[in-house]
């Protein structure tokens, strides 16, 4: 088996022709972002692997590209992607990740049980973590992932991705999605086609829905007041998943929306246009 090291320099590759409207998410090769790596032209679809995890590969404008979800723990610098052609030939492609600093967020919760759960809560939490892990690891090769996402709820951006969070002064995991504040009962809809692979009432996340969009792309919707779908149900873009609520660990009604690419939580904002994000973040934008 022949190994070929290919060094990719940003100055030599332009993705302008590939990243046309709705074709791909916006690129941000930072921790918590997405690296879009050109794989070149070939008749057959190659496979790509990053850190032993399979990566989404798309065919656009006569070329193949890999969409690499980058964990928040990713170190800046050179990273490698292993690409396997249909005939078994393997090449190693290098790409560069740059650093990004995320802000801190300090939240005060009156319900101290949501910061330090009781001993009797821990078995439930561990079981829910296992279900979430399984859902995020889902990979439907038969479903071609739709990447032109729509906003799942009309509201106000109240929490951005990646913030280092402190609950009642205690450090917790960084924020793994977007928070969109809206009135209780506001419709939450699917941003893209997919299949419901998990629903339930979770200790921290409240009423929750997971959707598998195909090819390692999974989304999660938390703190719902009610759920309108069932596990195994096929969903079309725009169909109602449930209603905004304040179940689980919350300080007010909102939707927590996470997007996972190759089992890595990435910034959902990268799947939305700059215009959509600007409207969400407008100072005078109201959720009611």
C-beta of residue 211 within 8 angstroms of C-beta of residue 195: yes
pLDDT at 255: 98
- Tell me the CA distances in angstroms from 175 to 11, 98, 125, 279, one per residue in order: 33, 20, 18, 21
Give the pLDDT confidence score for residue 23 in this predicted structure: 79
Looking at per-residue confidence, does 165 or 47 come out higher?
Answer: 47
Cα first-last separation, the chain: 60
pLDDT attached to residue 281: 76
3-state secondary structure the chain: CCEEEEECCHHHCCCCCCCCCCCCCCCECCCCCEEEEEEECCCCCCEEEECCEEEEEEEECCEEEEEEECCCCCCCEEEEEEEECCCCCEEEEEEEECCCCCCEEEECCCCHHHCCCCHHHHHHHHHHHHHHHHHHCCCCCCCCCCCCCCCCCCCEEEECCCCEEEECCEECCCCCCEEEECCCCCEEECCCCEEEEEEEEECCCEEEEEEEEECCEEEEEEEEEEECCCCCCEECCCCEEEEEECCCCCCCCEEEEEEEECCCEECHHHHCCHHHHHHHCCCCCCCC
pLDDT at 6 over 80: no
pLDDT averaged over the chain?
Answer: 88
Count CA atoms within 13 Å of residue 100 on its CB side.
21
19-23, 67-71, 123-127: least confidently modelled range: 19-23
Question: What was the pLDDT predicted at 286?
Answer: 39
Residue 268 binned pLDDT confidence (cut-offs 50, 70, 90): very high
Does 163 score more than 50 pLDDT? yes
> What pLDDT digit, counting tens, does each position of 31-45 carry?
999 999 999 998 899
The pLDDT of residue 108: 80
Q: What are phi and psi of 140, to 5 degrees?
A: -105, 100
191-227 tens-digit pLDDT: 999 999 999 999 999 999 999 999 999 999 999 999 9
189 has a pLDDT exceeding 60: yes
pLDDT at 21: 39
pLDDT at 55: 97
Contacts of 288 (CB under 8 A, 6+ apart): 182, 183
Mean pLDDT (whole number) for 58-76? 94
- pLDDT surpasses 90 at 168: no
What's the pLDDT at 284?
45
């Amino acid at each position: 088996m022949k190994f070929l090291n290919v060094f990719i320099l940003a100055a030599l590759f332009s993705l302008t022709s590939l990243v046309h409207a709705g074709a791909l998410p916006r690129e941000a090769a930072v921790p918590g972002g997405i690296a879009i790596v050109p794989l070149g032209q070939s008749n057959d679809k190659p496979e790509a692997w990053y850190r032993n995890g399979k990566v989404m590969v798309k065919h656009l404008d006569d070329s193949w590209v890999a969409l690499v979800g980058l964990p928040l723990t990713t170190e800046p610098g050179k990273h490698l992607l292993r690409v396997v052609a249909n005939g078994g030939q393997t090449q190693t492609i290098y790409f560069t990740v740059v650093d990004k600093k995320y802000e801190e967020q300090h939240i005060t919760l009156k319900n101290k049980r949501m910061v330090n759960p009781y001993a009797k809560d821990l078995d439930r939490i561990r079981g829910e973590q296992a279900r979430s892990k399984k859902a995020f690891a889902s990979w439907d090769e038969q479903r071609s992932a739709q990447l032109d996402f729509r906003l799942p709820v009309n509201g106000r951006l109240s929490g951005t991705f990646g913030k280092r969070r402190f609950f009642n002064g205690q450090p917790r995991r960084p924020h793994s999605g977007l928070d969109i504040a809206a009135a209780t009962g506001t419709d939450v809809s699917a941003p893209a086609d997919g299949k419901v692979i998990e629903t339930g009432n979770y200790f921290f996340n409240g009423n929750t829905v997971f959707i598998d969009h195909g090819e390692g792309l999974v989304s999660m919707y938390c703190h719902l007041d009610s759920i309108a779908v069932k596990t195994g149900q096929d969903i079309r873009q725009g169909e109602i998943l449930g209603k905004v609520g304040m179940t689980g660990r919350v300080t007010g009604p909102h939707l927590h929306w996470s997007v996972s690419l190759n089992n890595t939580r990435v910034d959902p904002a990268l799947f939305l246009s700059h215009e959509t994000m600007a409207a969400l973040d407008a100072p005078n934008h109201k959720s009611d």
